[in-house]
Structure 1
Amino acid sequence: MKELIYLDNNATTKIMDEVWDAMVPYFIHNYANASSVYHSMGREANGAIEKARLQVARSLNCQPKEIFFNSGATESINTVLKGIYKNYKSKGNHIITVKTEHKAVLETLLQLEKEGAFVTYLDVDHTGKIDLSVLEEHITAQTILVCIMAANNETGYIHPIQEIAMLCKDKDCLYFCDATQYIGKIPLDLGQIPIDILCLSAHKMHGPKGIGALFIRRKSKPIQISALITGGGQENGFRAGTYNVPNIVGLGSAITHMQHHERDFEHTIQLREYLENALSKIPATYIHAKTASRLPNTTSICFKHLLASELMTHCPQLALSSGSACVSGTRDPSHVLLAMGVSKEDALATVRFSISRLTTKEEVETTTRLITEAVTKIRQNSPIWQLFQAGLIT
């Protein structure tokens, strides 16, 4: 079998060798429980955790005591949304988000609505952009949280998080930012951007799966978030459970190494431009959010009058996606694209390509050839494509 060309990096990434090397000793040699601080192995494991906490804090320019480890962004989202709603009911029950947020946000808010929360879902334009003036209009004295991601996982669209954070600060409203796709691709300085709460996952930046971090800014009036998981008192009682030392070490190593590889994304942008230029030559093809500010590695392309699932089946050498991997298996069109005004047919004809720093030009060249050949072959046998060519449909 030919080696797979992996272009599904917004779903997950390959662990870097340096990250794996940092993790291995805590699987094999020092396998102690980090809470067992009365012997040397336990203290060493605990020290490794605090080193990783410092590495994450340095990468984000915040304090180590503002970083809490957990299983990843989905847990963070559940912790924050449920915890904020529970603790700020005395102020209000209003939460603001965007229709293109990750399903982890939308599904959790749907649950909170059943419990009495009032949620505003902001519209977006055809690129995925929100109207900041509309956001401002919706913030009231009852608003307890604004939840808007840094970058969209499907289209790569980058929200103006600096402006959103400043607006929330001026309105005395908490801002929670899911930066899962953003961290590791674009530098983010929490000393400059007044985000109150932020989450990330290691596996989006060449680290291990099952580990993430939650940033909660320390303020004169502490942000109140209840623990989602209680038990042994780990993370100062905020997140219980035996520490996953190897993975925590992996997160610290991954976020540090990604900082050192920022220039690699210049190469990534060049590869994306090559990919987009080549695939745009295919008739009746367009790129979602092409004119907007996007992540350097992400391309969402509609190949009209075919099914993305059929296209990917015709290209078994390629690892691609038709949207978020978190909702894979569903036949429904992407809620992100529908919110952007894309038709159901075009949404189902859309494929996401997400490059990484490990992707080569040869892989991108092969990808463009395989996709072009597959689209041509599928359309040759398609009555719908024949109707389009005859000018009977658009």
Structure 2
Amino acid sequence: MLFFLRDQALVRLLSDCQRRVINAQSRADLLEVLDRLEVFPGGLEFDHVQSITLLVLAFASLAAALLMDGMGGMFWVFVALCFFSYRVSKGISGVSTDLAASIARKCMMLGNGLSEFDSSADWRLKRLDNEFTDYRRGSERERRRILDSLQGVYRGERHSLAFEYHQLRYVISSCERGAGGDLKTVYTNYQRYSLVVDFPWVREIALRSSPLEIQLSGQPFKTDREDFNQAFVLRGNDPASCEHFATPATLDLLLELSRQLHGANLEFSGQGRLCLSFNNEDIMVHADPGPLSDLAVFRERIEAGIELPKLYPLLGLIEQLARLHDGHVAPAVAPQAPESLELIKEA
């Protein structure tokens, strides 16, 4: 009975720690959560007495079904108890795994100045859909979902850029003929990732290397760089603005983006924001601090902080693009007279 109570106490502790992680405002708050876990008696391993008890009862019911006539219903009792034993065991173990993932994510957010949105995922998708065509992917509109979103500010050499990260899931349906010759609808899930950045210097221009299923606005514009034309389709409402945008330095930077990102699209909206979308799923990937069962190692990695090695180099390229188009002109420096001329003047 004491073993059973210990498992329940551990579940309550982990649930309380989960709430504390959600409300954490600093890395010190996360370390306080780890302090609470450290002092729990007997470590963080579950005894699984509840699931074992259910499993024992399951086999007892199976034995009754085999030994007694008219007890066939006990077989279904056996199946149900096995199922509940598995669910209880997985549920209890999952609490610890979920807490470790939550602590790692919150540490990553705090260390990189990131935060979650207060708005719902449906509202964010509606807003993005109204601003950028890249969010209208898929043939099943009602199945599009924003799975994850974060926001922050990148502080570059010249500009501080407010940015958002979004993970979109969309579905494409197709008809396939089955073995019997009948047509059936097949739904395929895809993932798309994007950075939406405040970018008031360029508007209503789009560059695509990943095709969309919908009709796009604007007219295609070809540059005098064949390597760029093969990597991107540049579109805009005004050929003059496209020509002004497609400077040699800009084309070189965009080709660098295409080498780093798979299926990169850039869309500059009329609201002064840039959506850079891609298929790379590792832009927000960070090091795993490990399980809570090795609490000393886990604490050491949380104290060290969790970096995002691929996000900020990408944001650095976007800030470099901003510097190419912000209209900033370096102040002219008055030429200094050579020392020989100054000496002649003094004579």
TM-score (norm 2): 0.24
Of Structure 1 and Structure 2, which has the larger fraction of its residues in helix?
Answer: 2
The higher-RCO structure (CA 8 Å, 6+ apart) is 1
| Rg larger for | 2
TM-score (norm 1): 0.22
Of Structure 1 and Structure 2, which has the larger fraction of its residues in strand?
Answer: 2
